[in-house]
Amino acid sequence: MRLMIVGQLEGYISAAGKIALQRGAKVIHCEDTLQALGALRNGKGADLAMVDVKQKIGDFIKELAKERIHIPIVACGVGTDARIAVKAIQDGAKEYVPLPPDADLIAAILEAVTEENNTMIAHDPSMQAVIKMADKVAPSEATIMITGESGTGKEVMSRYIHNKSKRKDGTFIAVNCAAIPENLLESELFGHEKGAFTGATGRRIGKFEEAHNGTLLLDEVTEMHPSLQAKLLRIIQEKEITRIGSNEPVKVDVRLIATSNRNLEDSVKKGQFREDLYFRLNVMNIKLPALRERPSDIVPLALFFADKFSEANGVDKKKLDKETERKLQAYHWRGNIRELENTMHRAVLMSVADDIEADAIHLQDMGASQPTQPATQPAANAPDPTGISGAGRPTESSPPLQNTGAVEALVGRTISDVERDMILNTLDHCVGNRTHAANILGISIRTLRNKLNQYKDEGTAIPAANTGR
């Protein structure tokens, strides 16, 4: 846990820092937001920043967004007017903490940031076998590839390996290769010099340098553009990077962990992923089982999420009744742990009984323990939740989500499922033409392809691409 404290705070800065240190955090102090931004650009990373409300928190958050630096901001102050505290929240701060600091409050904030990333529940034999392998390879310096369906906890496993490794006192940095546009990912990974491109207002240390002597997670590495794959291969071989706009190589000592929800061998055969890079990253492979393959963990995980969301929403913690447990264990869990987490969040809010009852568990209509079914077209007279009628053709007479039937059809469904049906229906309407479908949906062709690859890996039938389009 890395905590950055920004501002003078009338002498209370040392007290807050001391409390954080006692709780195991690494603390860095910056005089103001300008110095804090410079520190972050130069690789002094942080998992959380506590900022004096006297600082320009809104401007600081905007600058962080421009630099693609994602850090939760907690505002703090001594004897602060309530209006100033409210403004800090409106400007983007997650919380406001009054000073002098309360030890329990500081501890709760640190715990809230670290708890979810460090929780590993593994009672099922299939998961215990994975943990045993992870424990065996963690102390080595080998590059590790973690595979598994979306939502199986690949990043949690990566952090577990880091915490069990010789680099546990070093930094753990995670980069989602699928979430960052390809024209920005190179700068994110390798850094850049001032003036290297439009918008490069100062030197920026990349994630490789920031993770020096620690661990770097390349999440969904198969989404990386082929040109970057070649550069990544060279970095693994040479153990050095070159910032954009510079000719000076920089030595880096980083342990790499990569993840993917795709079938990597298929990606290599299709030419989507370099074979030589695959062999470099796949020195050790850890495959995470789907949640349906680890039934003994379903109830413990559900209880963990129920407690978490009960506390977050200020409601009494509840156990699960027996019917609820049976319902959860019989379900297929296509979205794995992430889907279970969302389900339990809803259940905590919907439950009206002493224990969480089965009626509070809202699951998709796909049958217990049944494989994922391909998306189908809605019946001729059925309300279409996507606003696309018949064979997926948009009509002026049926604007999306404007009629009661369409809204009711969405109740109990997740946004991701509605999005999937909309994309597949639109693609079917376009007779497999990816470009036309992307234009109708208002998304990039790359985003569309990433979505289709995800659905295919989840077992959903995808309309064939229209030849020559």
| Per-residue pLDDT tens over the stretch 154-204 | 999 999 999 999 999 888 999 999 888 877 899 999 999 988 888 788 888
pLDDT number for residue 118: 57
**128 band by pLDDT with thresholds 50, 70 and 90:** very high
Pick 129-287's CATH classification: 3.40.50.1220, 3.20.20.150, 3.40.50.300, 3.30.160.20.
Answer: 3.40.50.300
The more confidently predicted of residues 147 and 426 is 147
**Residues near 419 by beta carbon (within 8 Å), at least 6 away in sequence:** 451
Residue 384: Cβ within 10 Å count? 22
pLDDT surpassing 60 at residue 127: yes
pLDDT surpassing 90 at residue 364: no
Fold classification of 291-360 (topology level)? Helicase, Ruva Protein; domain 3 (1.10.8)
> How much is the average pLDDT of 382-394?
37
Least confident span in 117-121, 204-208, 297-301: 117-121
- Count of CA atoms in the C-beta half-sphere (13 A) of 189: 28
Specify the CATH superfamily of domain 2-115: Response regulator (3.40.50.2300)
Q: Are 440 and 406 in contact (CB under 8 A)?
A: no
Residue 71 corresponds to which tokens in the numbers above? 């850090």
Question: Which residue, among 83, 461, 149, 393, has the nearest Cα to 294 in the 3D structure?
Answer: 149
Least confident span in 90-104, 183-197, 340-354: 90-104
Q: Do domains 2-115 and 129-287 have the same CATH topology?
A: yes
pLDDT number for residue 319: 95
Q: In what order do the strands lie in the sheet with 95-99?
A: 26-30, 2-6, 48-52, 73-78, 95-99
> How much is the average pLDDT of 126-131?
95
pLDDT number for residue 467: 42
pLDDT surpassing 60 at residue 389: no
The more confidently predicted of residues 112 and 267 is 267
The more confidently predicted of residues 161 and 111 is 161
Convert 240-257 to b/e letters by CB count within 10 Å (16 or more is b): ebbbbeeeeebebebbbb
Q: Report how far residue 139's alpha carbon sits from residue 54's, in angstroms, rounded to the nearest whole number.
A: 45
pLDDT number for residue 400: 40
pLDDT surpassing 90 at residue 241: yes
| Per-residue pLDDT tens over the stretch 61-86 | 998 888 778 888 988 887 767 788 88
Q: Are 142 and 284 in contact (CB under 8 A)?
A: yes
Q: Domain boundaries in the chain?
A: 2-115, 129-287, 291-360, 374-469
pLDDT surpassing 70 at residue 382: no
Pairing of strands 48-52, 73-78: parallel
pLDDT surpassing 60 at residue 395: no
| Per-residue pLDDT tens over the stretch 170-182 | 889 999 998 888 7
